[in-house]
Amino acid sequence: MLTMGVEEEFLLLADDGSVRPVGAAVVAAARLPGQVKPEYMRYQVETASAVCTRVEDLRRDLVRLRVAVAEAADRAGARLIAVGAAPLAAGPRQALSGDERYRELARRYPGPTAPGATCACQVHVGIADREVAVAVLGRLRPWLPALLALTVNSPYAGGVDTGWASIRYRLQRRWPTFRPPGVWADAQRYDSVVASLVTSGAALDPAAVYFLARLSSRYPTIEVRVADTCLEVDDTVVYAATVRALVAGLVDDVRRGVPARPVPGRLINARLLAAARGTGPAVGDLMAKVEPYLAGSDAGVVRDGLQRMLHLGTGAERQRRMRALPGDPRRFVRLLAEATVPVATVS
């Protein structure tokens, strides 16, 4: 079974929804070096799960990390919030983290930086053979809209309903390389494209080539980057298990010589925009593809999780229901915090 790991990005908000630039204090208080890290803005943090094979282990680690960071945030006077964009107050550009690389990114790319932070969920799936991994990237392209449709979780920005289910996706398109991967003949060609993007100034370095799915610049993994950060742990677990099963199916296709299904880039982009608006593709075809590769407990987790999502709605739909409840913005922030780390998961 392929290994998987998850990186989740979070906002740090005050009770009234304003951003709290206390990321460094939260990272220090969490005391989980390597697993809790600063992010682009000082009102963000990122967690990185352990490398897992069993979905139960992944869920346990994600819960542990969310609880630890939420407790550290509370000590710093902030709430940990799992949404794709700051819902009530945009964060100032000057709240950049102290990391010199981030500051250089902001200097070179002021347009994408100006709207403030967005938060993503990145799933890593272990594939040691880079030739197979590059072939899988090309085959992932048509599935990216369905993966985004599963995970939209940013309808609000700056205190208004944007009309999008993922305003994060729209904002991130300002980055020059935020786009689906290409179809490349081999790993050498992939590396050549990445190098050319850095040389041309479209990316600061290989780690700043923000394809929606890419070869990780640090690990022997495919990194799927299309998703908003997920509102609840169970959403993240279902999404990660789905991504792993999809990648496993595509690896199998590559090794069996199944012809790739060509889909024009303009059609993929149109479907991604539709997914970000909340009118994207149904996930039925995706589920039919991954079903044969859901091993052991993954099958039940994904089936039950998708049924739950059909009943409760996407993260974006749940946010809109929360915001529609009577009460001031503080209630909305409290409900988001409780969804991020619900009492039931802490126990």
The two most distant CA atoms of the chain are separated, in Å, by 57
Question: Does 345 have pLDDT greater than 70?
Answer: no
Give the percent of the chain with pLDDT over 90. 85
CB count in 10 Å sphere of residue 201: 10
Q: What is the pLDDT of residues 224-247, one digit of tens each?
A: 999 999 999 999 999 999 999 999
pLDDT band at 50 (very low <50, low <70, confident <90, very high): very high
| Tokens, residue 215 | 């070869």
What is the torsional sign of CA 295, 183, 208, 12? negative
- Give the contacts of 108 (CB within 8 A, at least 6 positions apart): 201, 204
CA distance 266 to 262: 12
Q: What is the pLDDT of residues 62-72, one digit of tens each?
A: 999 999 999 99
CA distance 338 to 20: 18
Task: Write down the pLDDT at residue 280.
Answer: 80
- Give the contacts of 44 (CB within 8 A, at least 6 positions apart): 9, 10, 11, 12, 23, 38, 97, 117, 119
193 CB burial (10 A radius; 0-12, 13-18, 19+): middle
**How does the average pLDDT of the chain come out, rounded?**
94
Question: Does 343 have pLDDT greater than 70?
Answer: no
Q: Let me know: does 155 contact 164? Beta carbons within 8 Å.
A: yes
Q: Let me know: does 297 contact 53? Beta carbons within 8 Å.
A: no
Q: Write down the H helix ranges in the chain.
A: 23-30, 55-75, 100-108, 110-113, 130-140, 144-151, 167-172, 187-200, 233-256, 265-277, 284-290, 297-312, 315-324, 329-340, 343-346
Question: Does 346 have pLDDT greater than 50?
Answer: no
Q: What is the pLDDT of residues 85-104, one digit of tens each?
A: 999 987 776 789 888 999 99
Amino acid at position 258, single letter: V
Which SS3 state, helix, strand or coil, does residue 214 take?
strand
Question: Does 194 have pLDDT greater than 70?
Answer: yes
Task: Write down the pLDDT at residue 347.
Answer: 38
Task: Write down the pLDDT at residue 205.
Answer: 97
- Give the contacts of 294 (CB within 8 A, at least 6 positions apart): 241, 245, 302
Mean pLDDT of 243-255: 96
Task: Write down the pLDDT at residue 28.
Answer: 97
| DSSP code string of 64-83 | HHHHHHHHHHHHTT-EEE--
> Which pairs from 337-342 meet CB under 8 Å and 24+ separation?
337/70, 337/79, 337/80, 337/81, 339/82, 339/231, 339/232, 340/10, 340/66, 340/70, 340/80, 340/81, 340/82, 340/231, 340/232, 341/66, 341/67, 341/70, 341/80, 342/232
Least confident of 33-47, 102-116, 161-175: 102-116
Question: Does 342 have pLDDT greater than 80?
Answer: no
CA distance 101 to 238: 33
In terms of phi and psi (left: phi > 0; alpha: psi -120 to 50; beta: otherwise), the region of 62 is alpha
